[in-house]
Amino acid sequence: MAGPFRTLTSIGPKDHGAQATLGGWVEDVRNLGGIAFLIVRQRAGTFQATVKKKSDEDLFNRASKVVRESVVAVRGTIQRNPEVRNGWELVAAAIDVLSPAAVPLPLPVADKVGADMDTRFDNRTLDLRKPGVRAIFRIRSIVTSALRSYLAGQEFVEVHTPKLAGAGAEGGATLFTTDYFGRKAYLSQSPQLYKQMLMSTGLDRVYEIAPAFRAEPSDTVRHVTEFTSFDAEVAWIERQEDFFPFLEGAIAHAVERVRSEAKAELEALQVTLKEVRIPFRRLDYSEALELLRGRGKRLRAGDDIDTEAEKLLGAAMQEQGHEIYFLTGYPTAIKPFYVMADAEEPDVSYSFDLEYKGDEMASGGQREHRYDVLLAKMKEKGLNPENFEFYLKAFRYGMPPHGGWGFGLDRFVQKLLDLPNIREAILFPRDRTRLVP
RNA sequence: GCCCCGGUGGUCUAGCGGUCUAUGAUCCCGGCCUGUCGAGCCGGGUGCUCGGGUUCGAAUCCCGACCGGGGCGCCA
């Protein structure tokens, strides 16, 4: 099927002499006096349209005046030419400006100067015209596709839980509120409660890739107020390690797919991806404290691992060849009510964080499925069970043992591609100050 | 929320009390050029975030506001 517009990738020197119409954004106009070149950008790269003054002076004059970044359709003859970058050029017979670009551009697209992040996000659609910026989102798409196909192969069901909620997940401090026909509603900060509820139904392996909202006024390169969470929950486990292979497999598969399917994008970003070896290293909390002590950082048993400690551990693991590792056995006291405590040592919980290049990618663990214990822990954490009746109901009539994780997709893409800021991995990021575009 | 740093043409920057009628690049406009591909050459164009203060004199120093970048806390 030959549409009116040909893609650059469908054309080569073999088409020598053929008529074609190509569309794109004019990246540059070079008028050399008697000959002019339009460098036109498409999804996959650029092609050159050539106009000679002596063959069509009117066309030559109009071509020379096209404003950069305008959308044009160029009709002409494909001419083989080894001197040209693609090995061919389009000798133009007609050039239509389908949509002119205004002057000046608020952001340089193909210029030799950069732009600040703020300027770029204010003009994100122009920013995304740059091949390196777009490459991030082609890769992100491969990642989500790989996660889905891997888990589908493990008999997971993809689910979608509500993002408007009448009660918070684990408290209330970090929730955005909104008006719901005169009632107070919240934007979901996590699918945690819902995916657990599903474990009581027979949909015993579920995952969800969806937005989560946090009203934390965080101001860092790894926090945004709206992020994409890759959550999963697995029932019929005996210990949390039983579901680790699913997370490991999904990540390894995603990296492999990116390595094989995004070679051009990785090159545009100047990123080399190493193969991910599974299983990942498991580092126990107490082992981590000892390791930190050896590096001059003293934490008392029960303390949370702060950012400095996290970076130190990351460096230590990296030295041992572990770019990615599980940090297991966090103190029960610093974990939410739904995590299960160790049967032998109740101060230690069946929980973990997944660390990647010094940053937290995921956290999860085995959940408390015993109704009475769950209820007691909820009260212990100062939560009112009445607000969670809808959730507790799922535990009252038979809940299998289960566990799962929440994994930050944006953060993963950031670290995978060594991006300096999580916002780079999000098309239209939302942070403390940015709500537009 | 706290701490550090910063706001100069459309964009990215130099300057950090007078000689700033503000640097350079990119961009835009005009001119030259028939093979450019980071095109080249010549000429021109646009700017000190805002409000107070210090000073003979402020882009430059001080205070405040607003905006931005980074760190911490929190976490995905």
From residues 183-242 of A, list those within 7 angstroms of strand B by Cβ: 190, 214, 216-225, 227, 229
Q: Average per-residue pLDDT in chain A?
A: 93
Report the DSSP beta bridge partners of residue A91.
A50, A77
- pTM value is 0.94
Per the CB < 8 A criterion, the answer to whether A231 and A207 are in contact is yes
What is the per-residue pLDDT for A114? 84
Residue A66 pLDDT greater than 80, yes or no: yes
A363 touches strand B (CB under 7 A): yes
Estimate in Å the CA A276 to C1' B29 gap, whole number: 54
Which has more confidence, A167 or A147?
A: A147
Read off the pLDDT band of A218 (50, 70, 90): confident
Q: What is the CA radius of gyration of chain A?
A: 27
The torsion of the CA quartet A107, A142, A194, A234, rounded to 10 degrees, works out to -150
Three-state secondary-structure class, residue A328: strand
Cα A74 from Cα A90, distance rounded (Å): 8
Residue A87 pLDDT greater than 90, yes or no: yes
Average pLDDT over residues A114-133: 94
Per the CB < 8 A criterion, the answer to whether A13 and A87 are in contact is yes
User: Which phi and psi (to 5°) does residue A46 adopt?
Assistant: -120, 155
Residue A264 pLDDT greater than 80, yes or no: yes
Residue A304 pLDDT greater than 80, yes or no: yes
Instruction: List the nucleotides on chain B closer than 7 A to a protein CB.
Output: 1-2, 10-13, 24-29, 32-40, 67-76
ipTM over 0.85: yes
Residue A1 pLDDT greater than 60, yes or no: no
Tokens at A363, concatenated:
């956290």
Residues in chain A: 437
Tokens at A192, concatenated:
């945690």
What is the per-residue pLDDT for A105? 92
For the segment A8-37, what is each residue's pLDDT rounded down to a tens digit?
999 999 999 999 999 999 999 999 999 999
A105 touches strand B (CB under 7 A): yes
Tokens at A277, concatenated:
């070896």
The nt closest to A39 (CA vs C1′) is B37
Cα A127 from Cα A104, distance rounded (Å): 15
Cα A326 from Cα A75, distance rounded (Å): 57
Estimate in Å the CA A29 to C1' B26 gap, whole number: 15
What is the per-residue pLDDT for A111? 83
> How, if at all, do strands A205-213 and A183-187 pair?
unpaired
Catalytic annotation, residues of A: 214, 216, 222-223, 360, 363, 411
A28 touches strand B (CB under 7 A): yes
* Beta strands, E only, A310-429: 324-328, 351-356, 359-366, 402-408
A375 touches strand B (CB under 7 A): no
Which has more confidence, A217 or A363?
A: A363
Tokens at A86, concatenated:
């693609």
Average pLDDT over residues A401-412: 97
Cα A360 from Cα A354, distance rounded (Å): 6
The nt closest to A410 (CA vs C1′) is B76
The nt closest to A224 (CA vs C1′) is B76
Of the candidate ranges A75-84, A295-304, A389-398, the one whose mean pLDDT is the lowest: A295-304
Estimate in Å the CA A29 to C1' B59 gap, whole number: 36
What is the per-residue pLDDT for A430? 94
A32 touches strand B (CB under 7 A): yes
Estimate in Å the CA A117 to C1' B17 gap, whole number: 33
The nt closest to A104 (CA vs C1′) is B10
Closest residue to B25 measured CA to C1′: A113
Average pLDDT over residues A62-68: 94
For the segment A362-405, what is each residue's pLDDT rounded down to a tens digit?
999 999 999 999 999 999 988 889 889 999 999 999 999 999 99
